[in-house]
Amino acid sequence: MIDDLERAIEAMLFASDTPLDARQVAGRLGDEMTPGEIRTIIQTIAARHAGSGIELVERGGHWHFQTPADLAHLLRRERDDPRKLSRAAAEVLAIVAYHEPVSRAEIEAIRGVQTSKGTLDVLMEAEWIAPAGRREVPGRPLIYKTTDAFLQHFGLTSRKDLPGIDDLRAAGLLDPVDLAFEEAMGELDLVKDGEEA
Amino acid sequence: MIDDLERAIEAMLFASDTPLDARQVAGRLGDEMTPGEIRTIIQTIAARHAGSGIELVERGGHWHFQTPADLAHLLRRERDDPRKLSRAAAEVLAIVAYHEPVSRAEIEAIRGVQTSKGTLDVLMEAEWIAPAGRREVPGRPLIYKTTDAFLQHFGLTSRKDLPGIDDLRAAGLLDPVDLAFEEAMGELDLVKDGEEA
Amino acid sequence: MEELPLDFEIVPAAPERDDALQLSLESWEGPLDLLLTLARSQKVDLKQISILGLVEQYLTFIAEARELKLEVAADYLVMAAWLAYLKSALLLPKDPLEDPSPDELALRLQLRLQRLAAMREAAARLLARDRVGRDVFLRVKPEGLRDIKVRRWDASLYDLLSAYGQVKLRSEPVVHMVSRRPVITLDAALHHLQRMIGVKLDWAELSDFLPADYDGPLRRSAIASSFVAALELARQGRVDLKQEGAFEPLYLKAAGA
């Protein structure tokens, strides 16, 4: 027998057209429940559905039901056509996700090429990136970050789930070139060896 | 452990934009399954969800997931939207209360201005006035009276509790607005002085 | 590091010497992208790449493109000029005073290529994830959570009564009330003067007949009405009046006294 509160939260998450976080669930229950208590119940529900044809997943602190990825071949239909991204848009999205918050100039420094206005627009229209204020440097450029919709679309529980982000950070590949340059000066000999080989 | 076929059918029913019948499910599975066999599996899925916050229901041989009817109140939450009654509506309400039963033409004669239909509608929506038949005069106009909800809202036992004209005059409620306003402002000054002391 | 294929567009293959000329420059997202593709053809980790070799590859590629009269965008030519400078600097005997040194420039280029390569792979891995609408599916028409606003009209008894007061006030006939000013009427002045005239036997000034405690508007009113009363008594032959000239004090006494 599933208890009433668990049923209620399950129905809410099932009926909602957007993923819900614990606070939203608590607010709608109008009950004296803490978000922590709600989360415990949500995890019970998720566990109950584990291994079934419907799973409850967490994306950026928000939960929603979806089908398991291994059943994609049965469910994929002609009309399912997730937004095709240009290579430029895919790269810009990756740079925003791995470096956020990041300005357009910083994106361009990594890509070595100007970013057309349309590229950022496509990503903002998809609601995968959003402006996140301004960088307090001369010119006060707009900076961008990824959204919860980004996490949801790409099946990420949080930004920590970004593929390989820990390795990239450890290798210093998320540091600006200037910083990496200072650190790498000692390795110059290696480079020269490579050239001579 | 839920078997693969059951998972697949569950995911299909979940992700479908229309309810599916056993034949459609069999078609999508591309398997050598009879509709009867599919139905048996669907019933297993329905039984697994029974009593939870998600139910699988049959409608004319087609199946779909929905939230249980008894939890509808959580999904369609009613929220109070308090609105202050307009001055015009307050005047009309007062006239009905003091002169009931009264027709719209009579209300207008007393107010000296036209009364929009919307004003009466608001008072009827608030359930403070209600039609009380028709006046037996040419045109047979609708007449209005106040309701029990009116008495309850304004804390009156009966209409006889409404103060008479002399009481209103004594209370300063028949003073011209400007004068009453100045007096009120004088009182405010007194209050301020008191606070400063 | 293994490079994952992108699912959205064909990544241009690392150009072999022979088919390099088949490729248009539009295949690249700028000169850094072209450099990275050329670097990949060295089939070594970017850390071990020969920058001098890469420079050669790039300059050859651009030269061939121009021979074919392909339009080469300005930023590719700027990069070519910079790489030609880098090449000569790397080949010439080291000048210890040169800052930054060619080795430092080469290192910076290598670091930039590594960063771009890292993001290129990250993009590919991101797009290869189980994506909503392609690999995982949501409900198509969820019931949705809705807040339905229920209007609650609010008014106090005071609002009601003051509204009625205003209606009454508007509909009552307008009456002008003139407040009473302090005056001495002609009747009062006549009565007073007649009494005083019997007491005073000799000529006396009009103002002497007025009570001493009258002042301000009341005194002005008393003078006016007493004057009219004096004229009336004179007409009846009951007092005599005398005045030396215009605006001089007015004297009166009982007639025949």
Q: Which CATH number does the domain housing residue B154 bear?
A: 1.10.10.10
Q: Based on the domain organization, do B138 and B179 belong to the same domain?
A: no
Q: Do B90 and C155 touch (CB under 8 A)?
A: yes
Say whether both A152 and A104 belong to one domain: yes
C-alpha Rg value of chain B to the nearest Å: 32
Mutate to test the interface with A, among C26, C78, C99, C111 (most CBs of A within 10 A): C111
Is there a contact between A53 and B1 if contact means CB atoms under 8 Å apart? no
State residue C153's pLDDT score: 85
pLDDT reported for residue A7: 95
The closest of A170, A129, A134 to A148, measured between CA atoms, is A129
Answer whether A86 sits within 8 Å of C8, measured CB to CB: yes
Residue B117, domain member (yes or no): yes
Nearest to B82 among C144, C154, C165 (CB): C154
The pLDDT, as a whole number, for residue C238 is: 85
> N- to C-terminal Cα distance for chain C?
144
The two structure tokens encoding residue A43: 């995890």
- Among residues B47, B74, B101, which one ends one of the domains? B74
B11: nearest CB among A12, A13, A71:
A71
Q: Does A147 touch chain C (CB under 8 A)?
A: no
Structurally, chain A folds into a number of domains equal to 3
Would an 8 Å CB–CB cutoff place B67 in contact with chain C? yes
pLDDT value, residue A64: 96
Q: CA of A49, closest CA in chain C: separation in Å?
A: 15
Q: Minimum mean pLDDT among A182-191, B157-166, C60-69, C154-163: which range?
A: A182-191
Three-state secondary structure call for residue C221? helix
In three state form, how does the secondary structure of chain B look? CCCHHHHHHHHHHHHCCCCEEHHHHHHHHCCCCCHHHHHHHHHHHHHHHCCCCCEEEEECCEEEEECCHHHHHHHEEEEEEEEECCHHHHHHHHHHHHHCCEEHHHHHHHHCCCCCHHHHHHHHHCCCEEEEEECCCCCCCEEEEECHHHHHHCCCCCHHHCCCHHHHHHCCCCCCHHHHHHHHHHHHHHHHHHHHC
C-side interface with B, Cβ within 8 Å? 137-141, 143-157, 159-171
| Backbone conformation region of residue A133, classed left if phi is above 0, alpha if psi is from -120 to 50, else beta | left
Answer yes or no: do B90 and C160 touch at CB < 8 A: yes
Mean pLDDT value across residues C172-198: 74
pLDDT above 70 covers what percent of chain C? 85
Q: How far is B197 from chain C (nearest CA, A)?
A: 30
Best residue of A7, A24, A25, A49 to probe chain B, by most B CBs closer than 10 Å:
A7
The average confidence (pLDDT) of chain C is: 80
Which residue range(s) make up the domain with B50? 4-74
Residues of A in contact with B12 (CB under 8 A): 53, 74-75
Q: Is some CB atom of chain C closer than 8 A to the CB atom of B106? A: no
Q: State which of B74, B98, B117 marks the end of a domain.
A: B74
More reliable by pLDDT, C49 or A169? A169
pLDDT at B164: 81
Assigned domain for A82 exists: no
Contact flag B67-A15 (C-beta cutoff 8 Å):
yes
Among the partner-chain residues C141, C169, C170, the one whose CB lies closest to the CB of B17 is C141
Nearest chain B residue to C154, by CA:
B84
Q: Is residue B64 part of a domain?
A: yes
pLDDT of residue C18: 45
Given an 8 Å threshold on Cβ–Cβ distance, is C144 in contact with A152? no
Chains in touch with B (≥3 Cβ pairs < 8 A): A, C
B contacts of A71 (beta carbons < 8 Å): 7-8, 11
In the listed set B22, B50, B74, which residue is the last one of a domain according to the structure? Answer: B74
Contacts of B74 in chain A (CB under 8 A): 8, 11-12, 28-29
B74-101 pLDDT tens trace = 888 777 888 888 989 999 999 999 888 9
Q: For each of chain B's 197 residues, which pLDDT tens digit applies?
A: 788 999 999 999 999 988 999 999 998 888 678 889 999 999 999 999 999 999 999 988 899 999 998 988 888 877 788 888 898 999 999 999 988 899 998 898 888 888 888 889 999 988 999 999 998 888 899 999 999 989 888 888 888 888 887 788 777 777 665 444 444 554 444 444 433 33
Compute the average pLDDT of residues C99-111: 87
Distance of alpha carbon B5 from alpha carbon C150, whole angstroms: 46
* Residue C149 φ then ψ, to 5°: -85, 130
Q: In this complex, do B12 and A53 lie within 8 Å of one another by their Cβ atoms?
A: yes
| Claim to verify: residue A33 and residue A59 sit in the same structural domain | yes
The answer as to whether B80 is a domain residue is no
Answer whether residue A81 is part of any domain: no
Question: Distances from the Cα of A53 to the Cαs of B26, B66, B180, C134, in angstroms?
Answer: 16, 15, 72, 16
Q: State pLDDT tens for residues C23-42.
A: 566 778 889 999 998 998 88
Tell me what pLDDT residue A187 has.
59
Shared domain for A8 and A65, answered yes or no, is yes
Q: Which of C116, C121, C145 sits opposite A112 (nearest CB)?
A: C116
Alpha-carbon distance of C245 to C229, in angstroms, equals 20
Name the residue with tokens 């100007």.
A114
In this prediction, residue A190 carries a pLDDT of 52
The pair phi, psi for residue C211, each rounded to 5°, is: -60, 140
Residues B150 and B175 placed together within one structural domain of the fold: no
Is B11 within a domain?
yes
> Is pLDDT of C14 > 50?
no
Among the residue ranges A152-161, C14-23, C112-121, the one predicted with the least confidence is C14-23
Partner residue facing C161 (CB), from B77, B112, B173: B173
Low-confidence ranges of chain A (pLDDT < 50): 194-197
User: Do A94 and A155 fall within a single domain?
Assistant: yes
What pLDDT is stored for residue A79 in this prediction? 55
Task: Give residue A53's pLDDT.
Answer: 95
* Other chains touching C, judged by 3 or more CB pairs under 8 Å: A, B
Residue in C closest to B108 by C-alpha: C167
The residue among C257, C214, C208 whose CA lies nearest residue C230 is: C208
User: Is it the case that residue C22 has pLDDT exceeding 60?
Assistant: no
Residue A80, in any domain of the structure: no
CB pairs under 8 A between A and B: 78
Same domain, B167 and B151: no
ipTM of the assembly? 0.70
Residues 6+ apart with CB under 8 A from B84: C154, C155
Tell me which chains share at least 3 CB pairs under 8 Å with chain A: B, C
CB C89 within 8 A of CB C105: yes
B71 vs A29: CB contact, 8 Å cut-off? Answer: no
In this structure, the answer to whether residues A119 and A173 fall within a common structural domain is: no
Same domain, A13 and A67: yes
Cβ-defined contact of C30 to A15 (cutoff 8 Å): no
Same domain, residue pair B112 and B93: yes
CB contact under 8 A, C165 and B14: no
Residues B69 and B114 in one domain: no
Q: Are residues A49 and A103 in the same domain?
A: no
pLDDT for C2: 38
> Is B81 contained in some domain?
no
Q: Find chain B residues with C-beta within 8 A of C140's C-beta.
A: 15-17
